[in-house]
Amino acid sequence: MDGPPSPSAGGVDSDAILRTACVDCDAPDLIDQLDKGLGTGPFSLVMIFCSPAAPFERLLAEAQTRFGAAPVMACTTAGEIAMGSGYAEDSVLAIALPEDFFEAEVLLFGNLDELSGDDLTQQTIRARAALSQRAADMEHEFAFLMVDGLSMQEDRLASSLAAGLGPTQLFGGSAGDGVRFEHTFVALDGVCYERAAVMAVVRSRCRLRVFSVNHFTPTDLRMVVTRADPSRRLVYEINAEPAARELGRLLGKDTHQIDTFTFADNPMVVRLGGSHHVRAIKRVTDDGALEFFSAIDEGLVLTLAEAAHIVEHLDQQLAALASDTPPAAILACDCILRRIEAEKRQLKRPLDEVLARHKVTGFSTYGEQINGMHVNQTMTGVAFYAPEDP
């Protein structure tokens, strides 16, 4: 399912910088195919993005024996993005970072409910210090996060990690479960976890650019959260009215007409740090509350946003990453709601073409992280550029 190798600036093939392999999850020799597709190591890090249709625990236990000493971090997905073809489903995607270009320090954060913010920050500081000594000759650095997408801990986690990362930019994605929203997992070195996260701090010889993209512009329609349960990301009242009913009134819909596409098509944004970030709605509960994908609180002002053309906007944003030199590859975390929007608007094929042309690989998520924030309906990622002196 992956595209052929293609040369990039600096005379280095893109597949030499980022190795990828994508295999149908029902393949009887799945790990063999992934191993063969990634090619010969040694690798500093292997990442596996696994459809919930695949046997995650068995797969990761077997993968642990295949890639030498490289740490293997993994998560379940809401879909995959295969290099050279775009969105994929019911597949397992593996991405490897060769030792020639990368060095990594990997951290497991187990039982997120009990970890203090200070502990998260201190672990991150120590990891950066260890990596800087081990890879002092690699001047470019980023951090990549996988987190249980049903943990409801992403906001606190991202904030604490950013404090420890200092100038190093963080991006990541929340593990998915297709569109079922029942069980999400992360894994490290063959062991699977719930309510946990795995972060890799990576140094590279390649130039890097961490980015965040969403295609929304705020309108003048605002509303205030007047009753909520922040611990469960539930909003019971908007503008002192029952939340789902008030949202329906503002959108000109009956409550029973509100569905996943309504949320994808009518996103809410909040203003943080001088810019707007999406706070996506997950569902309407049986008692008429709105459950969100990210942090919510009483007094928060939500603004209805309108969407640009998702295909044209993404093409423009990814082209901007290539304004000087085209990236050799892009690793991305893309919200499942973006994929749902493209499918409902019958734009999936042209969006696949954009992803393929810009050499994007990664996975569909339940939420995205960028530096100290957890966001929704966004693509976060890192573009890799071939080193000038390979």
- Residue 109 token pair: 């954060």
pLDDT digits (tens, 9 = 90+) for 90-102: 999 999 999 999 9
Cβ contacts of 83 within 8 Å, gap of 6 or more: 2, 3, 18, 20, 22, 329, 356, 359, 360, 361
Give, to the nearest 10 degrees, the angle between helix 348-357 and helix 310-321.
Answer: 0
What pTM value is reported for the model? 0.93
Q: How confident is the model at residue 1 (pLDDT cuts 50, 70, 90)?
A: very low
pLDDT digits (tens, 9 = 90+) for 330-353: 999 999 999 999 999 999 999 999
Q: Is the peptide bond before 42 cis (omega within 30 degrees of 0)?
A: yes
Q: Could you tell me the residue ranges of all domains in the chain? A: 9-213+311-385, 216-307
CB-neighbour burial class of residue 146 (10 A; exposed 0-12, middle 13-18, buried 19+): buried
Is 14 a residue whose pLDDT tops 70?
no
Q: Name the percent of the chain lying above pLDDT 90.
A: 84
Cβ contacts of 101 within 8 Å, gap of 6 or more: 16, 17, 204, 205, 206, 387
User: Is the torsion defined by CA of 368, 370, 375, 381 positive or negative?
Assistant: negative
Q: How far is CA 359 from CA 17, 19, 150, in A?
A: 12, 12, 29
**For the ranges 62-71, 148-157, 254-263, which has the lowest average pLDDT?**
254-263
Phi/psi for 176 (5° steps) reads -120, 175
Is 273 a residue whose pLDDT tops 50?
yes
Instruction: Compute the half-sphere exposure of residue 81: CA atoms within 13 Å on the CB side of its CA.
Output: 30
pLDDT digits (tens, 9 = 90+) for 274-309: 788 899 898 999 999 999 999 999 999 999 999 999
Residue whose C-alpha is closest to residue 86's, from 274, 332, 304: 332
CB-neighbour burial class of residue 359 (10 A; exposed 0-12, middle 13-18, buried 19+): buried
3-state secondary structure of 376: coil
Residue carrying the six token digits 């990301």: 233
Given strand 80-82, what is the order of strands in its sheet?
Answer: 86-88, 80-82, 360-365, 329-335, 379-385, 207-213
Residue whose C-alpha is closest to residue 94's, from 153, 20, 24: 20
| Average of per-residue pLDDT across 303-327 | 95
